[in-house]
Amino acid sequence: MGGWAIAVHGGAGVDPKLPEERQEEARRVLRRCLGVGAVALRAGRPAVDVVEMVVRELETDPVFNSGRGSALTQEGTVEMEASIMDGRGRRCGAVSGLTTVKNPVSLARLVMDRSPHSYLAFHGAEDFAREQGVEVVDNSYFITDENVRMLKLAKEANSIVYDYRVPVPSADTCSSSAGLVGATTDGGMQMNGLPISIYAPETVGCVAVDSGGWCAAATSTGGLMNKMSGRIGDSPLIGSGTYACGACAVSCTGEGEAIIRSTLARDVAALMEYKGLGLQEAVDYALKERLDEGKAGLIAVSRNGEVANGFNTVGMFRGCATEDGFMDVAIW
Amino acid sequence: MGWAIALHGGAGDIPLSLPAERRAPREATLRHCLELGVAALKANRPPLDVVELVVRELENSPCFNAGKGSVLTTNGTVEMEACIMDGNTKKCGAVSGLSTVVNAISLARLVMERTPHIYLAFDGAEAFAREQVKTMGVETAHSSHFITTENVERLKNAKEAKRVQIDYTQPIKGAIPSTKGDSQIGTVGCVAVDGHGILASATSTGGLVNKMVGRIGDTPIIGAGTYANSYCAVSATGKGESIIQATVARDVAALMEYKGLSLKEAAAYVIERTPKGNVGLVAVSANGEVTMPFNTTGMFRACATEDGYSEIGIWPSGINDDLEYPNK
């Protein structure tokens, strides 16, 4: 038993030209959230409470773009989603299509604890939020001027690379049958079909193991800029964006469709459980062998108090802390 | 090696006393759908087409809880969901919260093939369906097309018993007996492999009787109710919440891939580990094996392989064996 450990992320796929002051701001928020989690773990709070608490912090802080500042759909609206899983009993809750709930991760927790179901979406999820009396705000609370501008840019960019899964007929991409990142017509860096300068990571997540060795994971997102209304990504899907069991807890971020196809979070756990790999080995293997051409990153903790992360994108906002006093935040 | 196909019409607490007039139409539908799938495989149709074709047919049958015959939410509405996955490319598509689309499985396929996304739900999925009506012939219907009088009664019974029921009605303890002693209807699914080892899986459902509006089950979730890769294709049915937490479909494949188990061993392991009474699945492997395990009382199921084996069943083998018949 290695004591408690915690890791957080604020999304993978970072513009390498991100101004230094924005980087510093992100590091500051990651450090603050890790601190909140560390205090709770030290006080003996169960991992599932800690991941919810930390993801709430990340949702509420406008530096990362889940919750306030969420990505906009084609229609210019916000549709947020989240999930949480407690490795103890593998209980889970998820929500999609939220338009007014301030902290989606806490509604996911309520779905897990207080509904007969694991996953509620759209109107039904909003109704449930009202029944439960969670804090709701007008949809405009989540929409920032910057994101309205980003949506416009995304729409202009997407007039060239609209369907990034259909390989664009050019010499270097027509052989790419998986094609998820095939449409690199300008040779520029892309994420989720958008130029990296427009793309902003929209997902936050936290994984923790408490001093009892129980693991939990939570992930929350505004989704993808310029997504179709109704689009569900990997974040609320148990086994894709989020997973926790007796062995470990995992939260993923990146190109949702690639993460779903590779059931990335469950695969990290399955590699430990069925192939006997260690935590970091499992993370590396899943990223290398499972993602095909997709781009993603993930954080993970094991029941022994190990922490791991990995990504094949340009950067991932991340941080971790362990009981022995180690703390680290990084982007690149 | 060789082609193989398996399909299901839901797993659950199907009483052995299920009256013949309830049993016969379901067996007939299973047989008809199996024949349809076998003919398509023999005609060298791609497995992805075969599973879509078979699930469409199952959706169109009012006997099962998908498409026409979907069970009702607590508000008396239908919210259908479906998922399809191609094992070769791991491309997949899923839909939830459909209220007017006649064949949810075909819309899932269109999400896979004609959008940059994998999964669309509720209003957005309905809007997408409308866009595809003219170009791709997506058929829509008024919600009355989906709602059967049986399911209206089933909802009434469930509400009186104040419970959310799995997608087949269990006998309600100390309450009103369920409709004419049956209502064993369930999620539908199909898995297929062709002679080249190409695999595909598809699942479709109306969900749970008396479910909350907005509830999503295991069916549309890749790795839970539906999964296919180069090792196997899996479609699961039963209590959605248990299937999600056990990532049932992905785990069958992961046990083959990471632990080296055979299809039968992997499927049996997953079923055994999931709480009793909660899950059943059908699966085929790249080299043409089939397995259809369940830990519920029964599962409406059928399968056939290229070497001539065929089976249609409801309860564990050995019970009502007259249902199983050798195919030539």
Q: Give pLDDT tens digits for A204-219.
A: 999 999 999 999 999 9
Mean pLDDT for A225-229 is: 90
CA separation for the pair A283, A289 (Å, rounded): 10
B275 touches chain A (CB under 8 A): no
The pLDDT assigned to B165 comes to 58
Residue B170 has pLDDT above 80, yes or no: no
Which DSSP state fits A140?
Answer: G
Superfamily designation of domain B4-309 = (Glycosyl)asparaginase (3.60.20.30)
Which tokens sit at B141?
């219907």
User: A128 Cβ partners below 8 Å, 6+ apart?
Assistant: A107, A110, A111, A115, A120, B212, B214
CA separation for the pair A219, A214 (Å, rounded): 17
The 10 Å Cβ neighbour count of residue A246 is: 14
Q: How far is B45 from chain A (nearest CA, A)?
A: 21
Residue A257's Cβ-count burial label (10 Å; 0-12, 13-18, 19+) is buried
The pLDDT assigned to B180 comes to 36
Quote the radius of gyration of chain B (alpha carbons, Å): 18
Which tokens sit at A188?
């520029």
Helix (H, G, I), strand (E, B) or coil at A315: coil
User: Which residue in A240, A263, A271 is closest to B258 by CB distance?
Assistant: A271
Could you give the ipTM of this predicted complex?
0.92
CA separation for the pair A224, A190 (Å, rounded): 13
Q: Do B214 and A123 touch (CB under 8 A)?
A: yes
The pLDDT assigned to B166 comes to 55
Q: What is the mean pLDDT of chain B?
A: 90
Chain A residues with beta carbon closer than 8 angstroms to that of B121: 96-97, 121-122, 230, 232
Looking up tokens 């969420």, which residue turns up? A70
Any binding-site annotation on A138? no
Q: For A290-315, b where at least 16 C-beta lie within 10 A, e where not — what string?
A: bbeebbbbbbbbbbebbbbbbbbbbb
Angle formed at CA B40 by CA B38 and CA B46, multiple of 5 degrees: 115
Its CATH class, for the domain covering A5-67+83-89+200-330, is alpha beta
Mean pLDDT for A34-48 is: 97
Query: What does the pLDDT look like over B122-151, one tens digit per residue?
Result: 999 999 999 999 889 999 999 999 999 989
B239 touches chain A (CB under 8 A): no
Q: How remote is the C-alpha of A251 from its chain's centroid?
A: 6
The pLDDT assigned to A1 comes to 58
Query: What does the pLDDT look like over B68-119, one tens digit per residue?
Result: 999 999 999 999 999 999 999 999 999 999 999 999 999 999 999 999 999 9
The answer to whether A180 and A200 are in contact (CB under 8 A) is: no
Dihedral sign from CA coordinates of A11, A13, A19, A24: positive
Q: Where are the beta strands (DSSP E) in A62-149?
A: 80-86, 91-98, 119-121
Any binding-site annotation on B218? yes
Chain A 81-110, residues with CB within 8 Å of chain B CB atoms: 85, 90-92, 94, 96-97
Q: Do B247 and A243 touch (CB under 8 A)?
A: yes
Please report which confidence band the pLDDT of residue B320 belongs to, taking 50, 70 and 90 as the band edges: low
Please report which confidence band the pLDDT of residue A191 belongs to, taking 50, 70 and 90 as the band edges: confident
Q: How far is A115 from chain B (nearest CA, A)?
A: 9
What residue spans define the domains of chain A? 5-67+83-89+200-330
Chain B residues with beta carbon closer than 8 angstroms to that of A240: 222-223
Share of chain B above pLDDT 70, in %: 90
The answer to whether A77 and A100 are in contact (CB under 8 A) is: no
What are the φ and ψ backbone dihedral angles of A29, each rounded to 5 degrees? Answer: -65, -45
Structure-model confidence comparison of residues B245 and A183, the more confident one: B245
The answer to whether A201 and A13 are in contact (CB under 8 A) is: yes
Query: What does the pLDDT look like over A85-141, one tens digit per residue?
Result: 999 999 999 999 999 999 999 999 999 999 999 999 999 999 999 999 999 999 888
Q: Hey, of A120, A263, A267, A273, which one would you mutate to test binding to chain B, going by the most B CBs within 10 A of its CB? A: A263
The answer to whether A29 and A331 are in contact (CB under 8 A) is: no
The answer to whether A111 and A94 are in contact (CB under 8 A) is: yes
Any binding-site annotation on A100? no
Q: What is the mean pLDDT of chain A?
A: 88
Helix (H, G, I), strand (E, B) or coil at A57: helix
Which tokens sit at B328?
């030539």
Which tokens sit at A285?
């293997």
Please report which confidence band the pLDDT of residue A169 belongs to, taking 50, 70 and 90 as the band edges: very low
B251 touches chain A (CB under 8 A): yes
The 10 Å Cβ neighbour count of residue B103 is: 24
